[in-house]
Amino acid sequence: MPLEGHYARQNTPLYKLSPREMKVAVAIILITFVSILGIVIATAGDSNPPPAIGCINPTVAGIVGAETLNRCGQEAVETCSHAAEFAGARAETIVANCEKQRIKF
């Protein structure tokens, strides 16, 4: 059973921040927030430009994870022709990218 005054003693903070310390804490939080916001805004957007004419760059499932195939010219035509012979998500993704880039195979 708690004794008289124990609750107040247990719930009283040991130290109260001074107004100057509160201003410093608020300033640090604001600087941190503005910095994070600046980094997010600076890095937002699409950093992967579209492929050049006659090139493909589909992202397909690989052995270890996602794999981006960057092929241009004759190599792109060969990749599209090879993928057209198969069925499945990987082949369909490659063929769709070939059709989108208007590669004739």
The model's pLDDT over 27-72, given as tens digits with 9 standing for 90+, comes to 999 999 999 999 999 988 877 777 888 899 998 988 889 888 888 9
- Determine the average pLDDT of the residues in 66-95: 91
The verdict on residue 27 lying in a domain is yes
Distance of CA 9 to the CA centre of its chain: 49
- Determine the average pLDDT of the residues in 82-95: 91
Same domain, 66 and 35: no
The verdict on residue 35 lying in a domain is yes
Structural domain harbouring 16? 6-43
The verdict on residue 50 lying in a domain is no
The burial of 12, by beta-carbon neighbours within 10 Å (0-12 exposed, 13-18 middle, 19 or more buried), is given as exposed
| pLDDT of 15 | 87
Global pTM?
0.55
Average pLDDT value over all residues in the chain: 89
The verdict on residue 37 lying in a domain is yes
